[in-house]
């Protein structure tokens, strides 16, 4: 179970386990010593730690668990500081670190500021002014460094997320992004059925372009085709490069009829554009609308791929899924086939 978890999920399992293991004997000791308030506090923390570890291990409500774990850390530190006094001051530092590790940067900054105020109020009667100032300054430095590190890490994570879903050559979305977005559209369809289609697009005889004009020229063709396609697509339409010369378009809330007309329009646009002097570049397209008969994304893609396979037999053609009803293609009857 843990092998498929993120690092945060693993830590969210491990920390409560070790915390509960350490708190349990302490709880028993305090019950024996009749320290009832601390014993009840430790027992409460032990129970919550066990629950957090259990739910984190089973990957249930992980985002909520992170917030709850941080809240528990804050309340436990403040309570022990109030009940036991100066001996508990050292727990303030790991509490601040925990906030910036598990929470978003903004939420961690707000919660740490509130927590620092609470620490200052409780520590003021316990320490001389110089020690109090030293304690608060070192705590602020800890929080500031944690904030800077958390912000930089969050920024780098966002950049890596973008890079992992972007094709390095064309700057369009890649196969990984396609899988994620297409699955999200399927989930949305199952909740609220709105027509959604897939256009599978392949550049005809692209290998011969690379062989005759070189790979640099082939790369230029790929980039220019993407630029042309993006100009014709709406803001909420998606364009993916999933292979060397193969692309997928997911037009937003578009049935198969409208998707075929869009594919024909894009095919004609590419056909008329001059990419290489003396060499015409064309595309073939396969179109399929998602329906409840598809068990998963693989089935939907397979139907579009079959349509593309038929289109590639004649090239410069748009074919659509066999399982749909006949469509009136008044735009370009000769270029849209079933």
Write the DSSP assignment of 254-281 as a string of letters. Answer: --HHHHHHHHHHHHHHHHHS-SBTTB--
State the residue for tokens 């002014």.
129
> CA-CA distance, 41 to 80, in Å (whole number)?
8
C-alpha triplet 246, 252, 256: angle, nearest 5°: 75
Q: 238 — phi, psi (to 5°)?
A: -120, 140
- β-pair partners for 45: none
Q: What number of other Cβ atoms are within 10 A of residue 334's Cβ?
A: 8
Give the whole-angstrom CA distance, residue 240 versus residue 222.
12
Q: How many residues does the chain have?
A: 338
Instruction: Please indicate whether residue 246 is annotated as part of the active site.
Output: no
Among residues 245, 271, 277, 323, which one is catalytic?
A: 245
Of the candidates 323, 314, 229, the one whose C-alpha atom is nearest the C-alpha of residue 267 is: 229
85 dihedral zone (left: phi>0; alpha: psi -120 to 50; beta): left
From first CA to last CA, the distance across the chain in angstroms is 46
Distance CA 84, CA 43 (A): 16
Please report, to the nearest 10 degrees, the dihedral formed by the alpha carbons of residues 161, 162, 166, 170 taken in order. Answer: -160
Q: Which residues are catalytic?
A: 245
């Amino acid at each position: 179970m843990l092998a498929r978890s993120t690092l945060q999920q693993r830590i969210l399992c491990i920390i409560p386990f070790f915390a509960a293991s350490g708190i349990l004997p302490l709880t028993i000791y305090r019950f024996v010593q009749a320290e009832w308030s601390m014993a009840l506090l430790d027992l409460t923390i032990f129970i919550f730690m066990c629950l957090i570890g259990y739910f984190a291990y089973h990957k249930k409500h992980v985002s909520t668990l992170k917030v709850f774990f941080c809240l528990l850390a804050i309340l436990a530190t403040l309570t022990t500081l109030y009940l036991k006094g100066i001996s508990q001051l050292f727990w303030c530092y790991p509490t601040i670190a925990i906030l910036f590790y598990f929470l978003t940067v903004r939420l961690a900054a707000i919660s740490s500021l509130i927590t620092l105020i609470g620490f200052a109020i409780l520590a003021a009667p316990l320490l001389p002014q110089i020690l109090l100032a030293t304690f608060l300054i070192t705590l602020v430095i800890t929080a500031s460094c944690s904030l800077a590190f958390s912000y930089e890490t969050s920024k780098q994570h966002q950049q890596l997320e973008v890079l992992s879903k972007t094709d390095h050559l064309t700057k369009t979305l890649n196969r990984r992004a396609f899988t994620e977005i297409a699955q999200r559209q399927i989930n949305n369809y199952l909740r609220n059925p709105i027509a959604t289609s897939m256009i599978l697009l392949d550049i005809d005889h692209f290998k011969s372009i690379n062989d005759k004009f070189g790979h640099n020229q082939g790369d230029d063709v790929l980039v220019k085709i993407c630029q042309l396609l993006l100009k014709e697509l709406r803001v909420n339409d998606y364009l993916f490069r999933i292979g060397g010369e193969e692309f997928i378009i997911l037009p937003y809330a578009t049935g198969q009829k409208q998707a075929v007309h869009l594919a024909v329009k894009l095919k004609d646009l590419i056909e008329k554009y001059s990419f290489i002097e003396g060499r015409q570049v064309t595309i073939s397209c396969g179109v399929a609308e998602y329906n409840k008969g598809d068990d998963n994304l693989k089935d939907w893609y397979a139907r579009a791929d079959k349509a593309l396979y038929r289109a590639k037999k004649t090239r410069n053609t748009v074919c659509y899924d066999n399982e749909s009803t006949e469509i009136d293609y008044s735009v370009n009857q000769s270029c849209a086939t079933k």
